Amino acid sequence: MGDLQLTPKDFEVRVGLREDPDVAAAAIRAALGVRTETQSQWRVDNEAFREWRALLERAGILTFQAANLELDEARGFSISLKPLPVVVANIKDAYRGRIFTLLHEVTHIALNEGGICDLDDNQRRNVNAQIEAFCNRVAGAILFPKDDLLAASEVRNHRVSDMAWSDSELQSLSRRFGGSREALLVRLLGLGRTSEKFYYKKRDEYRVEYAKWREQRKEGFAPPHVVSLSSAGPLFTNLVIENFNREHITASGVSDYLQVRVKHLPEIQRDYNGLELMDQGG
């Protein structure tokens, strides 16, 4: 960015572990500039992931995808360094899972604590578990803003005393807000609209479904340059290509930065979207 005479945008949101998750989520949503009306238009999962990722990068956060990380090891992680903190999602996860991971990790950034995404916050009872639980709740609140969620017809028509939710209700709500059913249940649990017993019951069902989906899913072959662009993300790719175009770095440098062989550079340049770099002066 220095070679391009650009100044990184500073992601200035700071939250505390004792803060109300809704307040923390509102601050992060404001920094990202997202509105419920807009996110409800992202009906396709990969589109929603792309749009959330773009919002994070415009706010001054680098987003990467790990291609060689098993889901059993981690769904994501973050690095709280300034400027340009980093959040990483596991490319092997479903798109909605990746969205939740990005927002979970952004909360780590706002806490100024890098971390590894582990949704099993019930397994540990220590400080790390408290942080993970907080990040889960904030991520859920970012996806499902309290007032908008409670105003949804499915919620208004559901008895407050009924802690169980039908599959059709959960599916409809998750699609409307663009989050996963598990993320929705995390949110409903935080709002006192479901019980821990029901949450863990449905969570276990979803994980069995997901495991079957992964087993049945055919592993398609993605060209190396496609994997590279998807992993590196728009902002980092743009910075690398712009520096190459202005002869600040060599083709070998592009290969190192984007983790792809030099012979694929023409394909990367062809598919390079040339999106405008963050408006950060210079």
Domains of the chain, by residue range, sit at 21-216, 224-271
Crossing angle of helices 181-190 and 127-143, in 10° steps, is 110
Q: How far apart are CA 183 and CA 228, in angstroms?
A: 28
Distances (CA, A) of 244 to 174, 237, 249, 251: 42, 11, 5, 7
- The 10s digit of each residue's pLDDT in 67-126 is 888 888 899 999 998 889 999 999 988 899 999 999 999 999 999 876 666 555 454 457
DSSP 166-228: -HHHHHHHHHHHT--HHHHHHHHHHTTSS-HHHHHHHHHHHHHHHHHHHHHS------HHHHH
Q: Is the peptide bond before 83 cis (omega within 30 degrees of 0)?
A: yes
Q: How far apart are CA 91 and CA 178, in angstroms?
A: 18
Q: Work out the number of other CB atoms within 10 angstroms of the CB of residue 145.
A: 20
Q: Percentage of the chain surpassing pLDDT 70?
A: 90
- Paired strand residues for 62: 86
- What's the chain's Rg over C-alpha atoms? 20
Task: Kindly indicate the confidence band of residue 16, based on its pLDDT and cuts at 50, 70 and 90.
Answer: very high
Cβ atoms of 185 and 203 within 8 Å: the answer is yes
- Mean pLDDT for the stretch of residues 183-209: 92
Please give the structure tokens belonging to residue 67.
Answer: 């291609």
Pick the closest to residue 147 from 29, 15, 265 (CA basis). 29
pLDDT at 227: 84
CA 219 to chain centre: 22
- Mean pLDDT for the stretch of residues 197-215: 87
Pick the closest to residue 278 from 110, 109, 98, 84 (CA basis). 84
- The 10s digit of each residue's pLDDT in 134-143 is 998 899 999 9
User: CB neighbours of 143 closer than 8 A, spacing ≥ 6?
Assistant: 39, 99, 100, 103, 177, 178, 179, 183, 184, 187
Cβ atoms of 15 and 27 within 8 Å: the answer is yes
pLDDT at 128: 84
- Mean pLDDT for the stretch of residues 220-249: 87
Cβ atoms of 279 and 270 within 8 Å: the answer is no
Cβ atoms of 141 and 101 within 8 Å: the answer is no
Strands 86-90 and 62-66, bridge-based pairing = parallel
